[in-house]
Chains A and B, each alone.
Chain A
Amino acid sequence: MNNMTYQEKRSVAYLTSTLIVVVIYCIYVFYFNSERSLNPETDFKFYGITIILILPAMIIVNILTHIVFNVMHTMLTKEKGDHFEDELDKAIELRSNRNAYNTFLIGFLLSMISQALEMPPYVMFNLLVASFLSGSMVWSISHLYFYRKGF
């Protein structure tokens, strides 16, 4: 970690925070609610509530990650916290966003295919959540890749 720059460490921090959300989601859906009936009507309600909860949870985890990471980075490296975005950051941001949107799009299409093949609704909802979280992870990994390898 010592030879990593601020931007690379930040990408790792965001990737970790997304992984935490993935673990929380998996525990909530597949462990605490594994006994729920597979009735499509209750499935819609359950996943509706879960998705409504996961979006603010993701925002809160990201804000906390941002604060904790910046405090820890300033304390450990004694660097000034005046990090700003320049042209390289913007170029990397655009490419990472493109990769994240493409990942989400693939997941969205797969979830629609699952419905076309008459699979149960929980397959579609899990694919949608998985594509959203995968998109977020791809965003962080793309950042890390472009900062380390360049383009």
Chain B
Amino acid sequence: MAKHRIDNNIRKLRFLRDEMTQQQLAEKVGVTRQTIMSIEKGKYSPTLELAFRIAMVFKVPLDEVFSYSDGESQ
């Protein structure tokens, strides 16, 4: 099975939203700051539901927040 990776632009999107803090984003999507931190660092891939909630907070399509790449395409 090819090694895959889910990258995200959450840090950049937070910066563009008046430096929204991780805590503020966590409260908006209903998770803990630890979870936002883990997602930002690429340590945890969120569920589809949480991914959509994050995209809705930033008012952008899902693929502007998350991008998928597998080992073969790199």
B35 touches A88 (CB 8 A): yes
Q: Indicate which residue in A89, A91, A150, A151 contacts B32 across the interface (CB closer than 8 Å).
A: A89
Chain B contributes a number of interface residues (CB within 8 A of A) equal to 15
A5 vs B35: C-alpha distance when bound (angstroms): 11
**Which of B10-18, B38-46, B63-71 interfaces with chain A?**
B38-46
> Contacts of B31 on A, CB cut-off 8 Å?
86-88
- The answer to the question of B24 belonging to the interface, with a C-beta cut-off of 8 Å to chain A, is no
A88 touches B44 (CB 8 A): yes
Chain A contributes a number of interface residues (CB within 8 A of B) equal to 14
- The answer to the question of A46 belonging to the interface, with a C-beta cut-off of 8 Å to chain B, is no
A92 vs B41: C-alpha distance when bound (angstroms): 17
A5 touches B34 (CB 8 A): yes
> How distant is B23 from chain A, measured CB to nearest CB, in Å?
10
B41 touches A88 (CB 8 A): no
> Contacts of A6 on B, CB cut-off 8 Å?
32, 34
Per-residue contact bits, chain B 15-34, to A (CB 8 Å; 1 contact, 0 not) = 00000000000000011111
- The answer to the question of A149 belonging to the interface, with a C-beta cut-off of 8 Å to chain B, is yes
- The answer to the question of B37 belonging to the interface, with a C-beta cut-off of 8 Å to chain A, is yes
A86 touches B30 (CB 8 A): yes
- The answer to the question of A45 belonging to the interface, with a C-beta cut-off of 8 Å to chain B, is no
A5 touches B47 (CB 8 A): no
**A31-75 contacts to B (CB < 8 Å):** none
Mark A residues whose CB is within 8 Å of B: 5-7, 83-84, 86-89, 91, 147, 149-151
